[in-house]
């Protein structure tokens, strides 16, 4: 299946990606691209000759972007006096009194690990910094 419905489905599954499909000899050619995170320049791109492979490549690119975003978030949190460590899929933020909050990142959004609630977009990490700081204040 390679119609507009499939393209729209992929763009919903992987927000921020521009997905195009073109007919090529022997089938379809799938292309996807999106700008890289702010301050990192460039763009991510993927190309495949079948939808399943493109989906795998986009999931891999999402993982790379998430790791970079978590590292950047850790830097911003440290500037605010929070002990922050970024791992492959999560970030631990330890604040006043030794309390810890866990953050993850997926599909271009930072999320609380507990409950998967969206905190903010990777393109604006300061929104997430504010939310993490507020979470420490809520239970002071």
- Quick one: pLDDT at residue 4? 59
Spatial distance between the Cα atoms of 17 and 31, rounded to a whole number of angstroms: 10
pTM: 0.79
Residues 6+ apart with CB under 8 A from 5: none
- Quick one: pLDDT at residue 1? 46
Residues 6+ apart with CB under 8 A from 120: 109, 110, 127, 128, 131
Query: 18 forms bridges with which residues in the sheet?
Result: 33
The list of the chain residues with pLDDT below 70 reads: 1-7, 36-41, 138-140
Cβ atoms 11, 31 nearer than 8 A: no
- Quick one: pLDDT at residue 140? 45
What b/e readout covers 46-84, taking b as 16+ CB neighbours within 10 angstroms? bebeebeebbebbeebbeebbebbbebbbeebeeeebeb
Residue of 36, 99, 107, 79 whose CA lies nearest to 119: 107
DSSP calls for 62-110: HHHHHHHHHHHHHHHHHHTT-EEEE-SSEEEEE-GGG-EEEEEEETTEE
- Quick one: pLDDT at residue 22? 83
């Amino acid at each position: 299946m390679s119609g507009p419905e499939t393209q729209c489905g992929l763009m919903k599954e992987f927000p921020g990606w521009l997905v195009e499909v073109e007919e090529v000899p022997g089938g379809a050619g799938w292309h996807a691209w999106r700008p890289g995170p702010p301050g990192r320049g460039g763009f991510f791109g993927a190309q495949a000759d079948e939808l399943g492979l493109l989906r795998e490549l986009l999931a891999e690119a999402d993982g790379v972007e998430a790791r970079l975003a978590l590292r950047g978030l850790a830097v911003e949190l440290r500037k605010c006096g929070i002990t922050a460590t970024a791992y492959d899929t999560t970030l631990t933020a330890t604040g006043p009194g030794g309390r810890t909050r866990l953050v993850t990142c997926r599909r271009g959004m930072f999320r609380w690990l507990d409950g998967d609630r969206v905190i903010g977009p990777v393109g604006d990490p300061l929104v997430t910094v504010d939310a993490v700081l507020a979470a420490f204040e809520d239970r002071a």
